[in-house]
């Protein structure tokens, strides 16, 4: 009898063909482990949506098989959906100290206990069922990031997480290239690698390059300084604090997520803040302008962020003054260019000086460029390759990069979310798909807003609403009161009295016609009112508002 060939499956449920929402399932026989569990932020057409999380239908069906969740680092697109996941599937979570510190804070907000959280250190090994897991130190724009090697009976799978190769990191050790080379020497079945910066040639600059820029800015500035950056970029925050200390400035922190991360990173020893450096935001007016720096959120121009509110004079505690120096220490995430540009223009209008990426080296990426990706491929020498973390164009270009290094195209899987890839020692193929997609979170509602609700919201936002209220007689269907018409976001009623008067007559005629035909069915009455009013309004002013007829009987 022939021996059964071990097979392992890789199932990406998010993070492919998109930036964010990263989550992957690795499945061997009756066991599953999850890599990351992130969220993404809504696209423009997702009106009123707060965040978007992955569809975990497949994992819910197979929750008894899940051995645990492994986290690569603490960015929102890798840990943000974890509280929603853990409410439905209670399993152990493994991550480094800072990553789990940030996760724990999220879980408190969601009233979930932290009994599932298990701290691991880079170079630590872990056994979960048939899987042997190694965490490998990497460098990224947040400390404590790791790549993960998963040793299975079918072979070793390596997931790089988000990384860049930084030989002069701000804090901690450099990337453990030696360990990666060792794993590569022992044989890698499949590599899953970050594709975010694959379009950029060369190398990503070291985070420490920003240090000299900050030094020059702080040395020459005589005014108040505001620095906007990602809350999770702890190394960048450290550099702002270092420059502030060197030039005798106090540091205030603004923005809920920024306050949260600074507090956690400080408590866990990832931020070095000399005693007396941090001050409350309420106390900034007690110091002269050349003695204050404010670190704030809003580097992506998010409408409700601290920087956007400062720019539009909506911030309760920080008033922008002419001459203030604003440093935007981030680059736009694809799709955010317009909102950032709007905030920069507002800041200039208010008399501020603004320094952003186009004007100075105030930001470096946290993701590997082409030469670093080539180094990762050459160290690990994978048999098969799956590009991950990127829009379709990024994944496609990462395929071409792997081919340029001599990899056979047949050994590269260009996958989509929901594809199931099966690997044995010598073969890799896509064998099926599982349900996947967006789950939209609006307030406390998770997944209760779907495409139909979004379509209605879009309709309301573009064309407005008309409510028609009519009271009819139960006995003969004649109109007793009304029709009354109330509109929102359609026309300014006081200036459109004639139009509204005509609209009332159109509704009246439609109801009288139904009465003459002895139609008393409410659905037909509403449909008649809706159709006649829609046709009238479109004919008159070429608009299609949402029409809600309300019919009452007395």
Instruction: Indicate whether 177 pLDDT > 70.
Output: yes
1, pLDDT greater than 50: no
pLDDT value of position 479: 65
Cα–Cα distance, 213 to 243 (Å, whole number):
10
Q: Give the residue with greater pLDDT, 475 vs 255.
A: 255
- Which one has a higher pLDDT value, 466 or 347? 347
Confirm whether 367 is a catalytic residue. Answer: yes
- Give the whole-angstrom CA distance, residue 227 versus residue 138: 26
166 labeled binding residue: no
Distance between CA atoms of 174 and 186, rounded to whole angstroms?
22
Q: 291 is written with which tokens?
A: 């003695």
> pLDDT (tens digit, 9 = 90+) per residue, 236-257?
999 999 999 999 999 999 888 8
Q: What are the pLDDT digits (tens) for 356-414?
A: 877 677 888 889 999 999 999 999 999 999 999 989 999 999 999 999 999 999 999 99
- 499 pLDDT higher than 90: no
Binding site annotation covers 73? yes
The answer to whether 75 is annotated as binding is yes
State yes or no: pLDDT of 320 exceeds 80. Answer: yes
Residue among 256, 205, 255 at smallest CA distance from 235: 205
Q: Give the active site residue among 36, 194, 235, 419.
A: 194
Beta pairing, strands 445-446 & 438-442: antiparallel
Asked whether residue 29 carries a pLDDT value surpassing 50, the answer given is yes
What are 225's strand-pairing partners? 293, 325
As given in the structure block, the two tokens for residue 279 are 């001050």
**Is 162 annotated as a binding-site member?**
yes
Residue 269, marked binder? no
Mean pLDDT over 270-275 rounds to 91
Mean pLDDT across 168-187: 92
* Average pLDDT of the segment spanning 521-540: 76
Strands (E), 138-185: 146-152, 155-159
Task: List, as one string, the DSSP characters of 443-456.
Answer: TTEES---HHHHHH
Residue 495's φ and ψ, nearest 5 degrees, are -95, 0
The predicted pLDDT at position 450 comes to 57
- The SS3 assignment for 377 reads helix
* Whether residue 448 has pLDDT greater than 60: no
What is the token pair recorded at 178?
Answer: 């030696």
**pLDDT, average across residues 175-202:** 94
Residue 442, pLDDT score: 61
Structural domains in the chain, CATH included, are 7-202+365-438 (3.60.15.10), 207-355 (3.40.50.10710), 451-553 (3.10.20.580)
The verdict on whether residue 77 carries a ligand-binding annotation is yes
78 is in an annotated binding site: yes
pLDDT at 231: 87
Q: What per-residue confidence (pLDDT) applies to 493?
A: 63
- Enter the pTM of the model: 0.82
Choice among 98-112, 313-327, 535-549 with the minimum mean pLDDT: 535-549
Spell out the residues 6+ positions from residue 41 whose beta carbon is closer than 8 angstroms to its own.
20, 51, 52
Q: What is the pLDDT of residue 291?
A: 92
CA distances 490 to 44, 461, 482, 551, Å, are 22, 10, 20, 21
pLDDT at site 492 = 67
Tallying the residues shown for the chain, one arrives at: 554
- The whole-angstrom separation of Cα 447 and Cα 450 is 7
* Mean pLDDT, residues 467-496 taken together: 69
pLDDT in tens, 106-162: 888 888 888 889 999 998 899 999 999 999 999 998 889 999 999 999 999 999 999
From the list 151, 367, 377, 394, the catalytic residue is 367
Q: Is 331 annotated as a binding residue?
A: no
Which helix (DSSP H) or strand (DSSP E) does residue 507 occupy?
A: helix 497-516
User: Does 110 belong to an annotated binding site?
Assistant: no
Which of 235, 301, 253 is CA-nearest to residue 74? 235
Nearest to 19 by CA among 256, 332, 421: 332
Q: Which residue has the higher pLDDT, 348 or 2?
A: 348
Q: How high is the pLDDT of residue 539?
A: 76
Only one residue has tokens 């923005």, namely: 255
438 belongs to the catalytic site: no
Residue 260 CB contacts under 8 Å (≥ 6 apart), including other chains: 105, 231
Residue 547 above 90 pLDDT? no
367 is in an annotated binding site: yes
Query: Rounded to an integer, what is the distance from CA 295 to the centroid of its chain?
Result: 21
70: pLDDT strictly greater than 50: yes
The least confident of 253-262, 341-350, 440-449, 484-493 is 440-449
Say if residue 231 carries a ligand binding annotation.
Answer: yes
Taking 60 as the threshold, does the pLDDT of residue 445 lie above it? no
What is the per-residue pLDDT for 473?
67
Q: What is the rounded average pLDDT for all residues in the chain? A: 86
The verdict on whether residue 404 carries a ligand-binding annotation is no
Is 60 exceeded by the pLDDT of residue 30? yes
CB 195 within 8 A of CB 388: yes
- pLDDT band of residue 164 (cuts 50, 70, 90) is very high
Lowest mean pLDDT among 342-356, 357-371, 411-425: 357-371
140 is in an annotated binding site: yes
């Amino acid at each position: 009898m022939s021996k059964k060939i071990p097979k392992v499956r890789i199932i990406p449920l998010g993070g492919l063909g998109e930036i964010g929402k990263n989550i992957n399932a690795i499945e061997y026989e009756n066991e599953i482990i999850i890599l990351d569990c992130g969220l993404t932020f809504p696209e423009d057409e997702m009106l009123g949506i707060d965040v978007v999380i992955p569809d975990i239908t497949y994992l819910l069906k197979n929750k008894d098989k899940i051995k645990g969740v492994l986290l690569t680092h603490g960015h929102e697109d890798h840990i943000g959906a974890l509280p929603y996941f853990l409410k439905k599937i209670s399993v152990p979570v493994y991550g480094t100290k800072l990553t789990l510190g940030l996760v724990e804070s999220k879980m408190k907000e969601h009233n979930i206990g932290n009994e599932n959280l298990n701290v691991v250190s880079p170079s630590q090994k872990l056994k979960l069922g048939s899987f042997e897991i190694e965490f490998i130190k990497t460098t990224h724009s947040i400390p404590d990031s790791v790549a993960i090697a998963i040793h299975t009976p079918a072979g070793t799978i390596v997931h790089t997480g988000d990384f860049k190769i930084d030989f002069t990191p701000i804090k901690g050790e450099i990337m453990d290239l030696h360990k990666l080379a060792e794993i590569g020497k022992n044989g890698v079945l499949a590599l899953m690698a970050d594709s975010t910066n694959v379009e950029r040639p060369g190398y990503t600059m070291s985070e420490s390059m920003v240090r000299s820029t900050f030094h020059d800015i702080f040395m020459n500035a005589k005014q108040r300084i505001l620095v906007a950056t990602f809350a999770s970029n702890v190394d960048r925050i450290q550099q702002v604090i270092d420059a502030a200390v060197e030039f005798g400035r106090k540091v205030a922190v603004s923005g809920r997520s920024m306050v949260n991360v600074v507090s956690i990173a400080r408590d866990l020893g990832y931020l070095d803040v000399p005693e007396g450096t941090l001050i409350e935001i309420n106390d900034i007016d007690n110091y002269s302008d050349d003695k204050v720096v404010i670190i704030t959120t809003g580097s992506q121009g998010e409408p409700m962020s601290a920087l956007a509110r400062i720019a539009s004079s909506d911030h309760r505690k920080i008033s922008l003054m002419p001459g203030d120096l604003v440093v935007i220490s981030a680059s736009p995430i694809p799709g955010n260019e317009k909102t950032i540009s709007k905030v920069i223009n507002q800041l200039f209008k208010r008399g501020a000086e603004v320094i952003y990426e186009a004007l100075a080296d105030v930001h470096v990426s946290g993701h590997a460029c082409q030469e670093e990706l080539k180094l990762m491929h050459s160290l690990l020498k994978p048999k098969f390759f799956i590009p991950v973390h990127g829009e379709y164009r990024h994944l496609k270009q990462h395929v071409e990069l792997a081919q340029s290094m001599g990899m056979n195209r047949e050994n590269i899987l260009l996958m989509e979310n929901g594809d199931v890839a099966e690997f044995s020692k010598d073969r890799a193929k896509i064998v099926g798909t599982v349900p996947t997609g967006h789950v939209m979170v609006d307030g406390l509602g998770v997944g209760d807003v779907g495409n139909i609700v979004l379509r209605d919201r879009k309709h309301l936002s573009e064309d407005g609403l008309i409510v028609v209220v009519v009271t009819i007689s139960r006995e003969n269907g004649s109109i007793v009161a009304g029709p009354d018409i109330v509109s929102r976001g359609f026309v300014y009623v006081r200036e459109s009295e004639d139009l509204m008067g005509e609209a009332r007559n159109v509704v009246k005629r439609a109801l009288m016609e139904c009465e003459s035909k002895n139609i008393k069915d409410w659905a037909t009455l509403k449909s008649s009112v809706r159709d006649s009013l829609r046709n009238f309004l479109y004919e008159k002013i070429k608009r299609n508002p949402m029409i809600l007829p309300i019919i009452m009987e007395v």
